[in-house]
Structure 1
Amino acid sequence: MVNICVQQGVECQTLREIIVKIGILTEEQKYQWNKDGYLVLKGVLSEEDIQKLTTVVDQIDEELRKQLRSEGPQDGSDVKLYAGLNELNIIEHSDIFVELMDHPATFPVVLELLGPFVQLSMSQAMIRPPNPDNKGLAHALHPDGGQAMQRIRVDSNSLPLQIKIQYFLTPLTTPEHGNFTIVPGSHHRPFPAAQLGNAENPHNAEAVQLCVEAGDAVVFPHALWHGASSNRSDYARKTLIYCYNHHCFRAYDYKEPSPKLLERCTPRQRRLLGDIGEWQPGSYFYSPADQEEVMTGLAENKT
């Protein structure tokens, strides 16, 4: 972080100073975010990160398969019909997922885009197995946020309502590998809800399949139309998705974190999970006095 400041001629010592004085994103990235509605962050996960995360994701996947085999029909048809892992609230599974909550390569981007009054709303692991016979999009284009938020769009001068970061654990360097698929600039337009899930959706022609390396991540707001291409490769696509929004929202995949999870978290991670003190009217609208300090502190928040 300090190197960024030196290169731009600004003396900064903390993440808070960097974000306030110069920001993490380049002018080119800010332009792309406003115009196209997404950013690709290259190489945010190391090879060691990828291996460790993949190992845990595979373990969760195998546990689910074992459960299907033990509880399903004896012919194994449930496993055969298994469409791939879609596990929510993964931070309860392992510390390695907790660490990704405020990863030093991506969390500063969250703070710059959303500001410090944020929470982690969702953590998800997804596996899309090969399916060479599938035609069209494996997951139809859609915005996020349910019936209400699908009709809400904010202009470029506003903070986003919500952003997601999708981390890629497998390389998707060519199309039709289950690629994350987006319509650039669609976050500025009403979504044609009547065509949701329609394979003949005319907007599919505008869709772009993002080609990325393992370890890359993509950041996008709730209003961007997105989906997934078919996976016609010979290996499964594995990704993680972390969702952040303002802490006046309800979390998506948990009501409240477990005490065991909170015990394993740093002060900032606890704050991201809604640990803001004893509830009182307005708690989730008016943040604790140290919110900015807690959110923008890196070393001082590690215990």
Structure 2
Amino acid sequence: MVQVTPSPPTVTPAEQASRPYGDRYARLSDADRRTFAEQGFLLIRGALDEPLRNRVEQAVDRVHAGERRAGRLGPNGGMHVLGAVFRDETLTELLDLPATFPCVWGQLGWNIYVHHSHIDVNPPVTRDEPPAWRWHQDGYRQNADLDMEPRPMFSLKVAYVLSDLSEPGRGGTLVLPGSQYSNTLERTEQGPDGHYARPPGTVEISAEPGDAFVFDRRLWHSRSPNLSAVTRKMVFLCYTYRWIRWRDDVAINRHGDWWRQMSPLRRQLLGDADEAASHFGFTLESGVWDDAIPLRAELKARGLLDRSHHYLR
């Protein structure tokens, strides 16, 4: 394997922190676009105001309590559940959150949906938890079935931080800035204590409750061990193109009040389509772009389609 040697960040994580966007249809700023392209991630301070952060955390706690009753938690009460946006109505508020959504469609375009979402609850590690190499790129077979370097981005994730991860040792996410353009990462050697050394250039994302970060699925990243007294709570939404299959097993009741009261945009982001061809962005009858796709319709009406970015044509 070829070792990734990321170039030094042009800005520090603190300097690259973005202000949250206030309009879900705001244009992605040139500075944020450049930072994302160079570093592979974008930190957005204060993406969740405190009332929303509190509601989302309560939703996470409800899901956690349900998993506890079902006996599906880890040995120390840890939880990793898929299909997060279907687990609690509150979490659908994150689908098109104005603070972060411009960073999604601004990088992927309008033919998108959330094919994967998860909730992570990571209490402090127990003494007998074995060391593990957790560095990875997202995408599973996308990283094996495509013979090219670098591989396409295909998807990005928005990670919402609910706990105070502002200090090292609280299970913060580790990233290698700029590594999204390298297909491989060489595993580091284990030390005398059995733990793996961090790859050179590793940055631990320092985040306050309510912060969010958006990252390219190809960015090499890892969860770090939680050595503190704080329980790490996070929600992740992964956006991809509508012609890519679901990652999570979900069942949608399109006849219930929850679905009927959803906005057309949110229904799109939850996988809705009038016909199979719509997933490819066109109508079968016309063979041209489908202006009825909610996000495309909104962007077109606002003059935000942009041929200089191929995914916004």
The TM-score bracket by the shorter chain reads: 0.7 to 0.9
Find the counterpart in structure 1 of residue 214 from structure 2.
219
- Give me the whole-angstrom Cα distance separating, in 1, the residues matched to 2:260 and 2:79: 27
1:101 aligns with 2:95: yes
Given that 1:150 and 1:191 are in contact with CA atoms closer than 8 Å, whether structure 2 keeps it comes out as no
Whose helix proportion is higher, 1 or 2?
A: 1
1:123 aligns with 2:117: yes
Q: State which of 178, 182, 188 in structure 2 corresponds to 1:185.
A: 178
TM-superposed CA distance for 1:213, in Å, is 0.6
- Give me the whole-angstrom Cα distance separating, in 1, the residues matched to 2:145 and 2:259: 35
What are the equivalent positions in structure 2 for 1:86-235 lying under 5 Å apart?
86-131=80-125, 133=127, 140-149=134-143, 160-192=153-185, 195=187, 204-235=199-230
TM-superposed CA distance for 1:286, in Å, is 3.0
- Give me the whole-angstrom Cα distance separating, in 1, the residues matched to 2:278 and 2:296: 18
How does the TM-score come out when normalised to structure 2? Answer: 0.75
Unaligned ranges ≥5, structure 2: 1-22, 283-289, 303-313
How does the TM-score come out when normalised to structure 1? Answer: 0.77
Letter in 2 for 1:213: E
1:24 aligns with 2:21: no
- Give me the whole-angstrom Cα distance separating, in 2, the residues matched to 1:197 and 1:284: 44
Q: State which of 30, 47, 50 in structure 2 corresponds to 1:47.
A: 50
Letter in 2 for 1:237: R
TM-superposed CA distance for 1:15, in Å, is 6.4
Find the counterpart in structure 1 of residue 241 from structure 2.
246
Q: CA RMSD in A?
A: 3.1
TM-superposed CA distance for 1:192, in Å, is 3.4
- Give me the whole-angstrom Cα distance separating, in 2, the residues matched to 1:50 and 1:262: 23
Letter in 2 for 1:186: S
Identity of aligned residues (%): 24
Closer/same/farther in 2, CA of residues 31 and 132 from structure 1, 3 Å limit? farther
Closer/same/farther in 2, CA of residues 187 and 60 from structure 1, 3 Å limit? same
TM-superposed CA distance for 1:171, in Å, is 1.2
Q: Secondary structure at the match of 2:234?
A: strand
Closer/same/farther in 2, CA of residues 285 and 79 from structure 1, 3 Å limit? closer
Per-residue CA deviation, residues 203-261 of structure 1 (Å, 9 max, x unaligned), is 63432111111111111111100111110110200000000001110121135533235
Unaligned ranges ≥5, structure 1: 1-13, 69-77
- Give me the whole-angstrom Cα distance separating, in 2, the residues matched to 1:202 and 1:151: 29
TM-superposed CA distance for 1:31, in Å, is 2.2
Q: Which moved more, 1:286-295 or 1:168-177?
A: 286-295
Given that 2:83 and 2:249 are in contact with CA atoms closer than 8 Å, whether structure 1 keeps it comes out as yes
Q: Which moved more, 1:30-39 or 1:243-252?
A: 30-39
- Give me the whole-angstrom Cα distance separating, in 1, the residues matched to 2:159 and 2:70: 27
Given that 1:15 and 1:296 are in contact with CA atoms closer than 8 Å, whether structure 2 keeps it comes out as no
- Give me the whole-angstrom Cα distance separating, in 2, the residues matched to 1:276 and 1:268: 11
Closer/same/farther in 2, CA of residues 105 and 255 from structure 1, 3 Å limit? same
